[in-house]
Amino acid sequence: MLRMAEVHAGYGATPILFGVSLEVRAGEAVALLGKNGMGKTTLMKTAMGFLKPWRGTIEFDGRDLTRLTPHQIARLGVGLVPENRRIFPGLTVRENLELGLSAVADRSAAVRRRRLEEVFHHFPRLSERIDQPGKTLSGGEQQMLAIARVMMAGAKIILMDEPTQGLAPAFIRHIRDMIGELKRLGVTVLLVEQNARMALSVCDRGYIMEKGLIVFEAVSSELRESPVIREKLGV
Amino acid sequence: MSRVASWRAAVVLAALAALPALPFMSKYYLLLAFDALLFGAIAMSLDLLIGYTGLVSFGHAAFFGLGSYATAILLERGVLSFWACLGFAVVVVGLYALMVSYFSTARRGIYFALLTLVFAEVVFTFFRYTQTFGGSDGIQGVPPPQLVPGVTLDTPLANYYLVLVFLALAYLVCRTVVTSHFGKVLVAIRENEDRARFLGYNVQRYKMAVCMLSALLTGLGGAIYPGRSAFATPDLMLWTVSGEFIIMVMIGGLGTLAGPVIGGAFFIVLQEKVSSYVDWYFIVIGLVLIFIVLFMPKGLLGFRRLLGFKQWRATA
């Protein structure tokens, strides 16, 4: 589904990614682990088209993403849940969610209502806050909203950038369950996380990233037992 | 449009329609009211850009001036149809706005503001030094337009009702825009345009669309101005006029529709009244603006909150 091969990218003249290769197959949940400053967020930005790769290829469902703009990539079905819960704070929960319908041609009231009902089935707490501005939600609720917004779009793959950062344990469990639910619904997930324990408990496979390179790859069960995880991530 | 907003707008428009019946409404006050409503409508259309989308245009005077010139050129050449003037203004302002918005929206923040300013200065300079259009004197003494053959818009009362209809239509358009999905995308762009991008929105196309809409409304405002003033001069396009439009929006309240209308009317009345006593009226206006920015950052409309009125939503 999403395949990156030998991707080099950076900011200005400063290289950050030094030939990253990874693959996320349809229906999988894949964890991308690594300490701060290893290039995980840069990789996400490159996949979404905010940074153009210097070299290498990025394909989604066989389509080359490297020449597409972020909005074109999003419209192909690539959803991003950015770090720090980037919702639109001045808009209500409903308005935030309806903004997720960019790729949906039919935005009639009936379609909006049906999609909202589907999302509220997974996030009932959001339905209680539907007319509240996003900025009045707690951190965990804002994260739910960011995920729900991508679900509204019917994304085929969701790239999540540290969704549990700064959240209380109860919300972390909820996010983990949500990722499991997304898998069950057939949505593919690429999860960038520092919380390796949580990520590997829900993902099928994992990559470890260090200094702009993928240094280890394994299925989750193997990765959990591997000494590499302690060595590279200190957990 | 919500029912409450519809009723509120209808009541205000009805009150404005009844205004000429008041005993003190002389020709002078009708003309003053014309200006107040016209520039209020223009401030409202500018707020689509500043308040809702977060784009500060320093070149809106060019749209206004081009609309005025479009009408004045036709009237001067004997084409008196009001509708032909409007149509010509839409074409002229639309083409110019397409060019300005295409290039300006490719940049963000101060660069957007600077590009709109530079384009406007080019247009100002062109009209200032082109004798075909009267050079620095502009086009003076144009005849009034005709609504239909035999019905001439040649009285302050007729012009007042014309601008009132323009204000009502502009409000309806702006209200429809800001309450639509399109309007929510504009607010999303204002809050963070990268976020809007990764949700699948072609941000530049949205910004161009709202620039065009705001420019056309401003241009239409300009197109009805010569009917009241009988002239179009390059001074209408000066960057200081663009600055005044921004001040009107700020006085009224960013991100609201009614606020800039109030701000525009307040500015015009204040300017008229103060300038009738002293030459340095802009110092007074400057002090008022400083006071508003420091103590009423949400503008006159936001000040209602302090007085205990119901809060106005910034996005409606």
Tokens of A111: 């379609």
- Pick from A80, A98, A153: CB nearest B184: A98
CA B184 to chain A, closest CA, distance in angstroms equals: 7
- pLDDT computed for residue B135 by the predictor: 93
B200 closest CB neighbour out of A90, A91, A102 = A102
- Residue B150 tokens read as 């035999």
DSSP A180-218: HHHHHTT-EEEEEES-HHHHHHH-SEEEEEETTEEEEEE
- Chain A residues touching B193 at Cβ < 8 A: none
B195 and A CB contact within 8 Å: yes
The backbone torsions φ and ψ at residue A154, rounded to the nearest 5 degrees and listed phi first, read: 70, 40
Q: Is A68 left (phi over 0), alpha (psi -120 to 50) or beta?
A: beta
Segment B164-183 mean pLDDT: 95
pLDDT of residue B307: 58
Q: Chain B contacts of A69, Cβ < 8 Å?
A: 197, 202
Any B CB within 8 A of A216 CB:
no
Question: Which residues have CB under 8 Å from A27's CB, separation 6+?
Answer: A183, A186, A188
Q: Which of B181, B197, B254 to mutate to test the interface with A (most CBs of A within 10 A)?
A: B197
The pLDDT value given to residue B312: 45
Decide if the complex's ipTM is over 0.90. no
Token readout for B194 is 């990268």
Whole-number Å distance between alpha carbons of B113 and A190: 39
Stretch B255-279: mean pLDDT: 91
**Interchain CB contact of B23 with A (< 8 Å):** no
Residue-level pLDDT, tens digit, chain A, 235 residues: 899 999 999 998 899 999 999 999 999 999 999 888 888 999 999 999 999 999 999 999 989 999 999 999 999 999 998 887 678 998 999 999 998 887 666 777 888 888 888 888 888 888 899 999 999 998 888 888 988 888 888 889 999 998 888 778 888 888 888 888 888 888 999 999 888 888 898 899 999 999 899 998 889 888 888 887 777 776 6
Q: How far away is chain A from the Cα of B199, in angstroms, using its nearest Cα?
A: 6
**CA–CA dist A66, B193 (Å, integer):** 20
Is A54 an 8 Å CB contact of chain B?
Answer: no
Going along chain A from its start, the domains and CATH numbers come out as 1-77+156-167+179-235 (3.40.50.300), 87-153 (no CATH)
Q: What is the DSSP letter of B311?
A: P
- The reported pLDDT for the residue numbered A178 is 85
Strands A29-33 and A2-11: unpaired
Distance from CA of B25 to the nearest CA of A (A): 42
At what angle are helices B60-76 and B239-252 packed, to 10 degrees? 120
Which among B184, B185, B200 has CB closest to A74?
B200
The contacts of residue A14 (CB under 8 Å, 6+ apart) are none
CB contact under 8 A, A91 and B315: yes
Give the whole-angstrom CA distance, residue A176 versus residue A198.
7
Distances (CA, A) of B13 to B10, B112, B258, B260: 5, 35, 12, 16
pLDDT of residue A103: 66
Nearest residue in chain B measured CA to CA from A87: B195
Q: Do A71 and B200 touch (CB under 8 A)?
A: yes
Closest CA to A93 of A145, A153, A29, A46: A145
Task: Flag whether pLDDT at B311 surpasses 50.
Answer: no
User: How many contacts, defined by CB atoms under 8 Å, are there between A and B?
Assistant: 62
The nearest alpha carbon in chain A to B184 belongs to: A95
Please tell me the pTM assigned to this model: 0.86
pLDDT, tens digit, for every residue of B203-242?
A: 999 999 999 999 999 999 999 999 999 999 999 999 999 9
